Amino acid sequence: MRIVSDGTTTELYGGRFTGTVNLEMLSDAETTGRPDIARVSFADGAVTFWHSHPGGQKLLIISGVGRIGTEAGETELLPGTFVDAPADERHYHGAAIGHDCTVLAITWGTTVWEDLAP
């Protein structure tokens, strides 16, 4: 058993975010087919660049007000909202404008980043 109270924090992970973002890796995938798990805190209005995940991604809004965008548009996310992004779906996510947001992100496979902010 391993208990993590604070993960390793990397601000502006890979430069693939707008605004201030703290990414805390809670658990790296031990093997192929297993997910990475991170707690991601987005400051007011900060979001990821457009990206996708070969194995999909699941997000749980822990606190604050978030937002997620897809080809179909953008949706506001309140605490307790669960998002199930299918494999290879192009999207971005983060904090709503005027709000901070913390998200639990469970991700399968290496993220495919675009050099494009929403």
Instruction: Note whether residue 101 is domain-resident.
Output: yes
Residue 2 has pLDDT above 90, yes or no: no
Instruction: Note whether residue 33 is domain-resident.
Output: yes
Q: What angle do CA 31, 36, 39 make, to 5 degrees?
A: 160
The band of 7, judged by pLDDT with boundaries at 50, 70 and 90, is low
What is the number of structural domains in the chain? 1
Q: What is the pLDDT of residues 43-71, one digit of tens each?
A: 999 999 999 999 999 999 999 999 999 99
The band of 10, judged by pLDDT with boundaries at 50, 70 and 90, is low
Instruction: Note whether residue 75 is domain-resident.
Output: yes
Q: Residue 100 is part of a domain; what is its CATH number?
A: 2.60.120.10
Instruction: Note whether residue 4 is domain-resident.
Output: no
Overall average pLDDT of the 19-41 stretch: 89
Instruction: Note whether residue 35 is domain-resident.
Output: yes
* Domain assignment of residue 73, given as a range: 20-113
Which distant-in-sequence residues (6+ apart) come within 8 Å of 112 by Cβ?
A: 51, 52, 53, 54
Instruction: Note whether residue 9 is domain-resident.
Output: no
Give the mean pLDDT of the chain: 90
Furthest CA-CA distance within the chain: 41
Instruction: Note whether residue 8 is domain-resident.
Output: no
Residue 74 has pLDDT above 80, yes or no: yes
Instruction: Note whether residue 10 is domain-resident.
Output: no
Residue 75 has pLDDT above 60, yes or no: yes
